[in-house]
Amino acid sequence: MNFMQAVQVCLSKYVDFNGRARRSEFWWFFLFQFIVAIVTSFLGDIVSSIAMLALLLPAIAVGARRLHDIGKSGWLQLIALIPLVGFLVLIYFWVQPGSTESNAHGELAV
């Protein structure tokens, strides 16, 4: 999956917390968010805040689908609320390769 495909899929599945997302989909969308954050920061605080709020739900959704790909619950994202350690554990989960067969969260993502 390339950059444009990942952004299109994530935005089309705006609040779809079901299914699975491969590593490439997750990390390309993460890069897209980072670029949007940098560009909108030059346009002002209000524009930046609106852009980040608009991307919040797709980011949570793709994060949940990414965790589903490795066989974990999307609710595990709440571990990020634990200071320092929680976010590091979540990054560790996000970089893991997905399972190669179907799991409780669906078929293998394309």
Per-residue pLDDT tens for 44-96? 999 999 999 999 999 999 999 999 999 899 999 999 999 989 999 999 999 99
As a whole number of angstroms, the distance between CA 101 and CA 20 comes to: 12
What are the CA-CA distances from residue 108 to residues 22, 55, 91, 98 (Å)?
Answer: 9, 25, 21, 9
Q: Which residues pair with 103 in a beta bridge?
A: 106
pLDDT at residue 109, as a whole number: 55
